[in-house]
Amino acid sequence: MKCVKIVAVTVMIGLCALVGSGLATAEPPPPPQIDLTQPLMTPTDDGNSQVATALFPENDPKQTSFDDMTREIDIGWNNGGMAGAAIGAYAGMAIGCVSIFPNFIAGCIIGNVVGTVVGAVVGIGYGNPDAQPAVEQFLSTP
């Protein structure tokens, strides 16, 4: 009796999965029209970057805050983000290789990735103090 219940439940779950996947159909969204010969993050003549126009159509406040955020991050990256990423990568790799003893190769890889991300964020923050408020403004814009 227990075997019959298990088989019945398994068959019901399988049928539900088949029926559910058969009914869920939708057309894919149209691809965004982006001109790859032009800079993607630089605002165009109409005031918004190509990426902001593709990601947030019909939402000018979000596009504007996205453009402000990318501009401030770009300034921070040019003023110290690259150096911060490099320093963070080396420090993260060294700490990862030393701290994870049984599998130091995996520790080096994980430490390198985490150190690069943290170093880039800190370098951008020190390179341009206006970058963090611009990111917060973008995230809080509906």
Question: What are 83-142's pLDDT values in tens digits?
Answer: 899 998 888 888 888 876 667 677 788 888 888 999 999 999 999 999 999 998 888 887
* Average pLDDT taken over every residue of the chain: 80
93 neighbors 132 (Cβ within 8 angstroms) = no
pLDDT tens-place string over residues 31-42: 767 777 777 777
Q: Does residue 82 have a pLDDT over 60?
A: yes
Q: What is the pLDDT of residues 41-71, one digit of tens each?
A: 776 666 677 777 777 777 778 888 888 898 8
Can you tell me which residue has the tokens 């951008």?
124
Cα-based distances in Å from 124 to 2, 3, 8, 40, 65 = 62, 61, 58, 20, 18
User: pLDDT over 70 for what percent of the chain?
Assistant: 82
- Distance CA(124)–CA(102), nearest Å, equals 34
Q: Do residues 121 and 73 make contact, with C-beta atoms less than 8 angstroms apart?
A: no
